[in-house]
């Protein structure tokens, strides 16, 4: 391999490193807060067949440090077929700020979860809508701290989600995957380009939601969180922020098998196809950089070059995730980054190949298929 080829192959990796540094700069952006800000809040939790998880979520919600006269928590039973309904109704007895809402049908042109949240928001009264999932645990300060970021022109606040600390390697890889993806999202917001957020930890003004027409106005998406953020970013002048704040950190449950992990990532990949052009550059640069790395491994005996390229990619990732993982008290996972990188490359290539042959997604037992008009049926 001559010097010219080495230079050409190095270009996407250098760009990968530069983009990582740019996103790292965005992660360090500071956001103003108002510690004594109090607004009426509605927390929405959509649950479908969550008997195994919902109780931990409810316990964390009942412990929220926020005035009950300004807080309502709406738990939506989205056509569950297990004991979810019984667990919810028993738990909320005597808790006046909790509301139970059961849906029996899906709003036309909306996915199941978006339909459930849409109907719950219609029943809610808060000025600020919080969304989390039934398999999540929220910190006591979650609402109070997220509210403090809603200054005059802020329309949406997104937060980080990680998993509980674990020594299980598969769970550690999932934690690093969440940390990496959300670091990209928060870093992009920090440089003024909102790309996405995670649907189990974000909040928005009701007025902003109404301005884009709610989930009906946003339209069908298998990733309703991404679609709502995209609509707010493109159709309004409201600011979207994504602070790296441990008081806003939600803990989720890991998926138990590689099959479920892969299915989740497929859904995210298909749902995010209309991402902002900057997101496409990030994805394209990452894809080309990792393909160059794989190609060197498979087709070349230039092991020094292979190791050098791997270290460049690893350096970019380390520079990106080090600050948020430190801030979120999860820095112990950084030592697993080289192993995670191998895991990431393996599942990303498999995911790419699978998307070339099928656009079907199965989520919560419901099948979706991407048609030529980019709608699911």
Confidence of residue 373 (pLDDT cuts 50, 70, 90): very low
Q: Hey, what are 242's tokens?
A: 């994504």
Residue 312 lies in a domain: yes
Residues 288, 333: one domain?
A: yes
Provide the domain limits for residue 350: 7-25+275-363
Residues 209, 292: one domain?
A: no
Give pLDDT, residue 233. 95
Residue 334 lies in a domain: yes
Q: Hey, what are 129's tokens?
A: 């809508």
CA 170 to chain centre: 19
Residues 235, 310: one domain?
A: no
215-239 tens-digit pLDDT: 888 876 667 888 899 999 999 999 9
Angle in degrees, 0-180, between the axes of helices 169-190 and 303-327, rounded to the nearest 10: 80
Residues 235, 297: one domain?
A: no
Residue 372 lies in a domain: no
Give pLDDT, residue 352. 83
Distance (Å, whole) CA 83 – CA 134? 13
Assign residue 86 the CATH number of its domain.
3.90.550.10
Q: Hey, what are 58's tokens?
A: 């409810």
CB-neighbour burial class of residue 31 (10 A; exposed 0-12, middle 13-18, buried 19+): middle
- Answer whether 15's CB lies under 8 Å from 85's CB: no
In the three-class reduction of DSSP (H, G, I as helix; E, B as strand; rest coil), residue 130 is classed as strand
Residue 125 lies in a domain: yes
Residues 298, 253: one domain?
A: no
DSSP code of residue 376: B
Torsion angle of alpha carbons 184, 246, 46, 224, nearest 10°?
Answer: -20
C-alpha closest to that of 354 among 282, 288, 289, 267: 267
Residues 280, 220: one domain?
A: no
- Answer whether 363's CB lies under 8 Å from 263's CB: yes
C-alpha closest to that of 68 among 91, 38, 25, 90: 38
Residue 223 lies in a domain: yes
117-130 tens-digit pLDDT: 989 999 999 999 99
Residue 374 lies in a domain: no
Residues 358, 247: one domain?
A: no
pLDDT exceeds cutoff 70 at 11: yes
Per-residue b or e along 204-218, where b marks 16 or more CB atoms closer than 10 Å to that residue's CB = bbbebbebbebbeeb
Q: Hey, what are 323's tokens?
A: 């600050």
Residue with tokens 């008009």: 373
Give pLDDT, residue 376. 41
- Answer whether 177's CB lies under 8 Å from 161's CB: no
Q: In sequence order, what are the residues at sequence separation of 6 or more whose Cβ sits closer than 8 angstroms to the Cβ of residue 63?
A: 140
Residues 250, 228: one domain?
A: yes
Residues 132, 156: one domain?
A: yes
Q: Is the pTM for the entire model greater than 0.85?
A: yes
Q: Angle at Cα 205 formed by Cα 204 and Cα 209, nearest 5°?
A: 85
Q: Hey, what are 312's tokens?
A: 């460049």
15-65 tens-digit pLDDT: 999 999 999 999 999 999 998 889 999 999 999 999 999 999 999 999 999
Confidence of residue 375 (pLDDT cuts 50, 70, 90): very low
Helices (H), the chain: 3-27, 54-62, 84-91, 112-123, 142-148, 169-190, 206-211, 214-218, 224-235, 258-271, 277-299, 303-327, 337-357
Residues 219, 280: one domain?
A: no
Count other Cβ atoms within 10 Å, centred on residue 168: 11
271-325 tens-digit pLDDT: 777 788 998 999 999 988 888 878 777 766 667 787 888 899 999 999 999 999 9
Strand 154-158 relative to strand 202-205: parallel, antiparallel, unpaired?
A: antiparallel
Q: In sequence order, what are the residues at sequence separation of 6 or more whose Cβ sits closer than 8 angstroms to the Cβ of residue 202?
A: 130, 131, 156, 157, 158, 159, 225, 229
Residue 266 lies in a domain: no
Average pLDDT over residues 109-113: 71
129-184 tens-digit pLDDT: 999 999 999 999 999 999 999 998 999 999 999 998 888 999 999 999 999 999 99
Distance (Å, whole) CA 196 – CA 355? 20
Residues 147, 238: one domain?
A: yes
Residue 106 lies in a domain: yes
Total domains in the chain come to 2
Residue ending a domain, choose from 234, 260, 286: 260
pLDDT exceeds cutoff 50 at 374: no
Residues 83, 168: one domain?
A: yes
């Amino acid at each position: 391999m001559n010097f010219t080829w080495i230079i050409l192959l190095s270009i996407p990796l250098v760009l990968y490193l530069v983009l990582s540094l740019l996103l790292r700069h965005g992660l360090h952006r500071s956001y103003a807060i108002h510690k004594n800000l109090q607004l009426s809040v509605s927390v929405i939790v959509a649950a479908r067949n969550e008997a195994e998880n919902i109780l931990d979520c409810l316990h964390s919600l009942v412990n929220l440090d926020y005035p009950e006269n300004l807080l309502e928590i709406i738990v939506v039973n989205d056509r569950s077929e297990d004991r979810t309904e019984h667990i919810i109704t028993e738990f909320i007895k005597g808790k006046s700020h909790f509301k139970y809402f059961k849906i029996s049908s899906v709003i036309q042109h909306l996915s199941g979860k978006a339909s459930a949240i849409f109907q719950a928001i219609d029943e809610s009264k808060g000025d600020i809508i919080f969304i989390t999932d039934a398999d999540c645990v929220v910190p006591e300060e979650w609402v109070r701290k997220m509210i403090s970021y809603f200054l005059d022109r802020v329309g949406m606040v997104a937060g980080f989600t990680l998993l509980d600390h674990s020594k299980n390697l598969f769970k550690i890889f999932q934690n690093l995957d969440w940390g990496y993806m959300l670091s990209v999202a928060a870093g992009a917001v920090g440089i003024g380009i909102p790309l996405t957020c995670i649907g189990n930890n974000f909040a928005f003004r009701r007025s902003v939601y109404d301005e884009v027409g709610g989930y009906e106005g946003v339209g069908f998406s298998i990733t309703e969180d991404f679609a709502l953020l995209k609509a707010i970013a493109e159709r309004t002048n409201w600011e979207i922020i994504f602070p790296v704040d441990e008081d806003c950190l939600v803990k989720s449950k890991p998926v138990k098998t590689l099959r479920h992990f892969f299915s989740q990532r497929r859904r995210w990949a298909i749902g995010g196809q209309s991402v902002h052009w900057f997101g496409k550059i990030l994805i394209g640069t990452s894809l080309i950089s990792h393909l160059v790395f794989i190609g060197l491994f498979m087709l070349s005996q230039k092991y020094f070059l292979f190791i050098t390229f791997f270290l460049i990619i690893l350096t970019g990732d380390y520079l990106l995730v080090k600050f948020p993982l430190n801030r979120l008290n999860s820095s112990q996972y950084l030592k697993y980054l080289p192993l995670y990188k191998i895991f990431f490359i393996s599942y990303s290539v498999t995911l790419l190949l699978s998307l070339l042959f099928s656009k079907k997604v199965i989520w919560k037992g419901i099948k979706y298929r991407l048609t030529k008009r980019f709608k699911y049926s």
